[in-house]
Amino acid sequence: MAWNWQLEGWPHFEWQPPRLRLREQAFTENAAVAVGTMRHIGSEDREELVIELLSSNAISTSAIEGEILDRDSVQSSLRRQLGMSAANLRSRPAEAGIAEMMADLYRRPLSPISEQRLFEWHRMVMNGRRDLSQIGSYRSHDEPMQIVSGALGRERVHFEAPPSDRLAKEMGMFLEWLDRTSPGGPEPLPTLARAGIAHLWFESIHPFEDGNGRIGRVIAESILARAISTPTFSALSKTLLKHRKDYYARLEAASTTLLIDDWLSWFADRALEAQASADDLVGFLIEKTRFMDRLRGIINERQEKVLLRMLAEGPEGFEGGLSAGNYATITGAPPSTITRDLSDLVDKGALLRSGERKATRYRLNLATQSERPVATRLHPER
């Protein structure tokens, strides 16, 4: 079996732009709506939005690779990187490094992706690693760079990247294409097509010893962000984590062909899903302010503490809903007080109740969903 980089015509991918037309249109329209919605968010909520989206992507892009990071540490590192007030938490090198890369993406959304910037990102992502011979430079080992799974003796090769001695030429072509197809370049491409091709192309080259997935995803994030001059509306890695198995399968299928319509259609749908997820967070922050304003002065300190704790979990809230046990843990109140507090919050319209007895759970009564022209709802061309 030949890999895509071994095929005649590499690296000239082929696709049918009309198949992405409605998706590209939806992405542009959704971005315009999001920019307008941001005007209704105060400075504190805007700061919270930035930290929530960047930390979610940092944690998710690492989780795709099987690395679990501490959310509080990542957020604290991000706040320090962006000059915001931060809790004095000790972050591990991996958490500090991925936070630094996400902060760079946020601070410099319009900066081109150069070889030097890729090397900087690699040093950030590999922060603290002592097992790699090359950090901040392309791999140079003689043995093949392969993605392999399975037990010893029964390995399955999912992909083999170009040999190290071809990397300078391969990456030169890739970076020249990025520059040429940028919004201000001589051959600009629509955003979703450009981001999808860039991600696939970079993963096909696999230029580093490790960290290629995280850097490949941040390249796609950067392209999506540049199209709207801000990265605060993107949740791509969080969405790809939800589809992790399919994501790997799609990349593998696309690694043996230069005909990439299926890959681009799938990637575009995930980018639109990510955009909708970010929009939900923006809507949640707006509704959160209205929600607490409506209850101000009519709930007690215990109730306010619990509601704020639930709101801190984001649009999804507590997994499985709030229980009386959760309420006790947060407030330290006795059972009789908890029962009265929760019943009162339901009566005031702050919480919705479901289940009975020990299975009783409570969820925030928020209206966070908005009508958006999402491509998957438009039944785009397949």
Render each residue's pLDDT in the chain as its tens digit; 382 residues. Answer: 799 999 999 999 999 999 999 999 999 988 887 777 777 777 777 788 888 889 999 999 999 999 999 999 999 999 999 999 777 777 899 999 999 999 999 998 889 999 999 999 999 999 999 999 999 999 999 888 998 888 777 888 899 999 999 999 999 999 999 999 999 899 999 999 999 999 999 999 999 999 999 999 999 999 998 876 554 557 899 999 999 999 999 999 999 999 999 999 999 999 999 998 888 888 888 888 889 999 999 999 999 999 999 998 877 778 889 999 999 999 999 999 999 999 999 999 999 999 998 899 999 998 644 444 343 334 333 3
| 212 appears as a binding residue in the annotation | yes
Question: Taking Cα atoms as reference points, which of 138, 263, 131 lies closest to residue 197?
Answer: 263
Q: Is 364 helix (H, G, I), strand (E, B) or coil?
A: strand
Q: Using alpha carbons only, give the angle 83, 88, 92 rounded to the nearest 5 degrees.
A: 95
Report the amino acid identity of residue 91: S
Residue 150: its pLDDT value, please?
Answer: 81
| 4 appears as a binding residue in the annotation | no
The C-alpha atoms of residue 248 and residue 37 are separated, in whole angstroms, by: 34
Q: Where in the chain is the domain with CATH 1.10.10.10?
A: 299-364
Q: How far is CA 136 from the centre of its chain?
A: 23
The C-alpha atoms of residue 53 and residue 235 are separated, in whole angstroms, by: 6
| 129 appears as a binding residue in the annotation | no
| 216 appears as a binding residue in the annotation | yes
Q: Is 153 left (phi over 0), alpha (psi -120 to 50) or beta?
A: left
Task: Please answer whether residues 161 and 210 qualify as being in contact, where contact means their C-beta atoms are separated by less than 8 angstroms.
Answer: no
| 363 appears as a binding residue in the annotation | no
Q: Residue 94, class by beta-carbon neighbours within 10 Å (0-12 exposed, 13-18 middle, 19+ buried)? A: buried
Residue 301 in tokens: 């300190």
Torsion angles phi and psi, residue 259, rounded to 5: -95, 105
Question: Taking Cα atoms as reference points, which of 128, 162, 126, 165 lies closest to residue 144?
Answer: 162
Q: Per DSSP, what are the bridge partners of residue 322?
A: 362
Question: Taking Cα atoms as reference points, which of 242, 230, 277 lies closest to residue 32?
Answer: 230
| Terminal alpha carbon distance of the chain | 27
Fold category of 4-282 in CATH: Fic-like fold (1.10.3290)
In 180-273, the DSSP E strands lie at none
Residue 352 in tokens: 């919705």
**CATH 1.10.10.10 describes domain 299-364:** yes
Cβ neighbours of residue 110 closer than 8 Å, sequence gap 6 or more: 226, 229
Alpha-carbon Rg for the chain, nearest whole angstrom, is 23
| 351-354/156-160 β-pairing | unpaired
Global pTM reads 0.85
Burial code (b: 16+ CB inside 10 Å, e: under 16) for 144-174 equals ebebeeeeeeeeeeebbbbebeebeebbeeb
Residue 233: its pLDDT value, please?
Answer: 56
Q: Which residues are catalytic?
A: 206
| 247 appears as a binding residue in the annotation | yes
The C-alpha atoms of residue 106 and residue 77 are separated, in whole angstroms, by: 14
Q: Is 132 left (phi over 0), alpha (psi -120 to 50) or beta?
A: beta
Q: Where in the chain is the domain with CATH 1.10.3290.10?
A: 4-282
The C-alpha atoms of residue 73 and residue 106 are separated, in whole angstroms, by: 18
Question: Taking Cα atoms as reference points, which of 304, 311, 291, 351 lies closest to residue 331?
Answer: 304
Question: Taking Cα atoms as reference points, which of 195, 198, 225 lies closest to residue 57?
Answer: 225
